[in-house]
Amino acid sequence: MQKRVVPFFLAFALICFIGNAQDQYPKNENVDVQHYVFGLSLNDASNEIQGETQVTVNFKEKAVPFALDLVSKSGEFGMEITEVLEDSLKANYTYAQNKINIVPKTQAKTHTFTVKYHGIPERGLVIDTTKFGKRSFFGDNWPNLARHWLASVDHPYDKASVEFQITAPDQYDVVATGEKIEESNLENGYKLTIYLEPAPVATKVMTIGVTEFASRLVDEVQDIPVTAWVYPQNRLEGFNDYTVAGKVLEYFIGAIGPYSYAKLANMQAKTQWGGLENAGTIAYFENSVTGNNEVEPLIAHEIAHQWFGNSATEKSWNHVWLSEGFATYFCILYLENVYGDDRRKEELAIDRNEIISYYKTNPSPIVDLTITDPMRVLSTNTYQKGGWVLNMLRYKLGDDLFWKGIQKYYAIYRNSNALTDDFRHVMEAVSGEKLDDFFQQWLFTKGHPQLKWNWEYKKGKVVLNLEQLQSHHVFQFPLEIGLVKDGKTTLETIQVNERTGNFELKTNTRPDSVVLDPNQWTLFEEMTTKK
């Protein structure tokens, strides 16, 4: 997902290690949802939907009580349940505090439960008009808004394959998570459209789009169809802008590993975000379509999410940097691949400034275990600073080991869930290095080095005096030093381990200037610089 506005499209004390994550959702590890079938009936007479969820559940040991999330009716909005079935028989359930609490009647390890309901969703399913005044229905679930219209385990720790069965007036085009397996005209001017996604998906990235669309196959990458779904009034501009998705997809498959989903649809949509990385059916804000190819970074960010966030998914909301930090940096890696290393440095320089500015009013770590509301986990920390952590890890390990570790991490946690510790263990196994200190100081400790420094030239040496001004922690990090003479830069690397330090760098002549970190590899704030 892309939250912050960027120029390309005008459009987001030490803390213990990972085991004590503060995600408040009551996870039931004895229950594993295998498959959802969401039947939804939409109409033009009102915003009320008719819903039927079939959920196939596997009990890991024996059948135990479990709950599905569904926001109950309160005033105008919410859902009313008409029936709950257990394997076609009346189920034993209660419905309170937006939870359907089900007590299985038998001890079979696998059951299918059916929940029938109706109502007007306040959020999650956006029922509105497009910017051209056309009626539309768009799923916009992130982070936990599926419960407003889909009976489900509305948390990314329990992913499942999904089928959408959408009945809507026949003038509408329908796109949804998965591959289209049926489109049938019904009586009375309605149409049934069915999409099936066999890969496990978190509810946060399940979606539908129902409106008048123009659509086109814009590319095909390793038998994966890449399509554009845009408003008819934006047909030519949209097909032009979204075509780059094929090149992005090809890059990430080659760099990371196999793509997990049935298709890659790129959809102009009503969404609260700049982009929302729905699995295989990405939503982009309505004005992303201009015909000027301004959204390539946004498209790269959302497609990167198909690997990180969608397939390899954070198990706790407090570890959302595994989604957003990864998408932020892998967008930069794509831009570096296409436009060169100067583009990487430009992007990271912009992000560095945003991180420094954010810290002044929000002094908190990336993995902030004090946050209990998933809507609050998105920040400059989890996006830009998370991306910077990956950039520093790449510098620490080198390109070969970094990419080997990324590929192994994805291979292990593809279509599964991970925490930060899981990622660390993979990178340690690949590199043979202990990374506890690196992860602790950059992810679980607030802030960054604030450096006051100066230099002088003495007897064939540049003497660099450096002091860390932040009081809460002494950071340890490598730092590249650029010695500039006659327009040419010579690089030296020092290892900073103490609050203050003096470093001597041999050079035959006095430099014209000295630059800290000219290649954007280390996150720090430069407080003062003088000769």
**CATH number for 344:** 1.10.390.10
User: Is the pLDDT reported for residue 352 higher than 50?
Assistant: yes
Where do the H-state alpha helices sit in 197-295?
235-242, 245-255
Same domain, 253 and 326: no
Same domain, 85 and 182: yes
Same domain, 329 and 358: yes
Query: Band of the pLDDT at 21, cuts 50, 70, 90?
Result: low
Tokens for 337, please give them: 């691949």
Sheet holding 179-185, edge to edge: 89-90, 78-86, 110-120, 49-59, 31-41, 160-169, 190-201, 179-185
Q: What does the pLDDT look like over 397-415, one tens digit per residue?
A: 999 999 999 999 999 999 9
Q: Give residue 531's pLDDT.
A: 45
Same domain, 322 and 408: yes
Q: Which of 391, 424, 443 is the last residue of a domain?
A: 443
Query: Band of the pLDDT at 4, cuts 50, 70, 90?
Result: very low
Residue 359 lies in a domain: yes
Q: What average pLDDT does the segment 201-210 reach?
A: 98
pTM of the model: 0.95
461 beta partners: 458, 506
Residue 189 lies in a domain: yes
Same domain, 257 and 200: yes
Nearest by Cα to 96 from 75, 123, 119, 78: 78
Same domain, 321 and 231: no
Q: What does the pLDDT look like over 99-116, one tens digit per residue?
A: 999 999 999 999 999 999
User: Is the pLDDT reported for residue 488 higher than 70?
Assistant: yes
Residue 3 lies in a domain: no
Residue 108 lies in a domain: yes
Of the two residues 519 and 187, the one the predictor is more confident about is 519
Residue 7 lies in a domain: no
Residue 6 lies in a domain: no
Same domain, 191 and 266: yes
Query: Band of the pLDDT at 1, cuts 50, 70, 90?
Result: confident
Residue 10 lies in a domain: no
User: The domain spanning residue 134 has which CATH number?
Assistant: 2.60.40.1730
Q: Which of 304, 325, 354 is the last residue of a domain?
A: 304
Q: Which of 414, 443, 472 is the last residue of a domain?
A: 443
Residue 509 lies in a domain: yes
Same domain, 410 and 468: no
User: The domain spanning residue 459 has which CATH number?
Assistant: 2.60.40.1840
Q: How far is CA 469 from CA 184, 203, 455, 495, in A?
A: 67, 44, 17, 17
Number of domains the chain is built from: 3
Where do the H-state alpha helices sit in 362-435?
386-397, 399-413, 420-431
Average pLDDT of the chain, as a whole number: 95
Q: Give residue 7's pLDDT.
A: 31
User: Is the pLDDT reported for residue 8 higher than 80?
Assistant: no
User: Is the pLDDT reported for residue 140 higher than 80?
Assistant: yes
Same domain, 439 and 497: no
User: Is the pLDDT reported for residue 168 higher than 80?
Assistant: yes
Same domain, 509 and 372: no
User: Is the pLDDT reported for residue 523 higher than 60?
Assistant: yes
* Percent above pLDDT 90 for the chain: 94
Same domain, 498 and 439: no
Q: What does the pLDDT look like over 44-62, one tens digit per residue?
A: 999 999 999 999 999 999 9
Q: What does the pLDDT look like over 249-306, one tens digit per residue?
A: 999 999 999 999 999 999 999 999 999 999 999 999 999 999 999 999 999 999 999 9
Same domain, 97 and 151: yes
Contact 56, 32 (CB under 8 A): no
Query: Band of the pLDDT at 17, cuts 50, 70, 90?
Result: very low
Q: Give residue 237's pLDDT.
A: 97
User: Is the pLDDT reported for residue 182 higher than 60?
Assistant: yes
Q: Give residue 20's pLDDT.
A: 47
Where do the H-state alpha helices sit in 263-417?
296-304, 321-339, 341-361, 386-397, 399-413
Domain with 466, as residue range(s), is 450-530
215 beta partners: 229
Q: What average pLDDT does the segment 191-218 reach?
A: 98
Q: What is the largest CA-CA distance in the chain?
A: 91
